[in-house]
Structure 1
Amino acid sequence: MKKIILSAIAMMAFAFSNAQETRFGVKGGLNISTLTGDVSDNKSLIGFHVGGFAEIKVIERLAIQPELLYSTQGSKFKYGAPDVKMDYINIPVLAKFYITKQFTVEAGPQIGFLVSAKQNGYDNFKDDLKSVDLGFNFGAGYNFTDNLSAGIRYTVGISNIDDTEFDNVEDYYDYSIRNGNLALSLAYKF
């Protein structure tokens, strides 16, 4: 985790020192999330994300885009099991490549901080989950104008969110629950 954070800081420092242009913006949209790994009989939960970002041009076709997002995630379960709803503050740092002036692709790491966790809206089980979640993003975007854009992004969870203690290492690797999130966004740059 330290390597990811240090790499993100180094990329941002490089980008700021060589930045040709920096633009700020706001974004929001729809989340379609689920839990993956050692989970069965679950289906997608609809949520939202909202926040801000900075687009820092490094060269003509490449930008670094750090974001700060509030994101609702979780999963619904079949057969009467309680739905899981979690709120995160996510900080993705993306490398954004302009294929054309309108079409972009992006990828990069994300760190998320758990704000709350509830089952069926009542039971608070935040203490049963890890407070930090790591993920990796990849996506694409389309710029309608210089200011207005839309995007689609999938976040693959790479860390186990369950804070259950295990007696041996083999049990830990056999039991892993991760976040998965598809985000559809609208963004406005100033």
Structure 2
Amino acid sequence: MKKRFLLAASMVLLFSMVKAQGLHYGVKADLNLFQLDGQGIQSHYNFGGRLGVYANYDFNKQWGIQPELLYAQENTRRDNDFSERYIHNSNPTASKNVKLSYLTLPLLLRYNINRKFTINAGPQYSFLVYENDDLLTYNKNAFKRSDFGVAAGATMTFDILHIYARYVLGLTNVNDIDDRYPWKTRQAQIGIDIDIK
């Protein structure tokens, strides 16, 4: 229910902003360094990527809002001790590679330092739409569907082109196997936005 409400609220906000004069929207892509911290998983950054759309609306010269809708492909790896930690339901012949695909909704507050530099911060909700792993027996899911986090970063503007860097700290335990070992996500991103309007 919460997921549907958040998605509906984001879409209403995006569509209502489309009619506004100070609205800008466009497409974006970034390189996403993804890390999953937790027992049984290798805790180091792996390359992934994100593609999507964004809109931003400034209320005045300093403050604005920026919702985004992104498709993210993330990669992580099973650690050598995975079967020892999850004895009862681990798949001993599981592949080391894990691929996760998320639909991600950041809702960022913008602070414009000047025309060139902007600071962004706000909540981010991610919904797991695809999980490619065989970590557990009987095709059980190892990862929870929802991941909530906080994002912060900065953007540099060159006319219609924007270059940004962002860090996202996951607050949700995404381990769906049991509650003994929490798994939490971390992401570092660098990318570009291009204004369509």
TM-score, scaled to structure 1: 0.79
Q: Distance in 1 between matches of 2:60 and 2:40?
A: 43
**How far did residue 38 of structure 1 move?**
4.0
Inter-CA distance 124–177: structure 2 relative to 1 (3 Å threshold):
farther
> 1:178: which partner in 2?
184
Larger Rg: 2
Q: Quick one: which amino acid aligns to residue 136 of structure 1?
A: V
Q: Secondary structure at the match of 1:164?
A: coil
Q: Which of the two has greater strand per residue?
A: 1
Question: Once the two structures are superposed, what CA deviation does each residue of 1:46-86 show, in whole Å capped at 9, x if it has no partner?
Answer: 11100001101111111100000001123235659712221
> 2:102: which partner in 1?
88
> 2:46: which partner in 1?
45
Question: Once the two structures are superposed, what CA deviation does each residue of 1:125-184 show, in whole Å capped at 9, x if it has no partner?
Answer: 673321111011011111122x1011011110000111234xxxxxx3x52101111111
> 2:147: which partner in 1?
133
1:161 corresponds, among 174, 180, 186, to: 174
Q: Secondary structure at the match of 1:127?
A: coil
Q: Secondary structure at the match of 2:141?
A: helix
Q: How does 1:1-190 map to 2 (within 5 A)?
A: 5=6, 12=13, 16=17, 21-38=22-39, 41-77=42-78, 79=80, 82-119=96-133, 127-145=141-159, 147-165=160-178, 172=179, 175-190=181-196
Contact map agreement 1:20 1:58 (CA 8 A) in 2: no
Count the aligned residue pairs: 176
Q: Quick one: which amino acid aligns to residue 87 of structure 1?
A: S
Cα root mean square deviation, aligned? 3.2
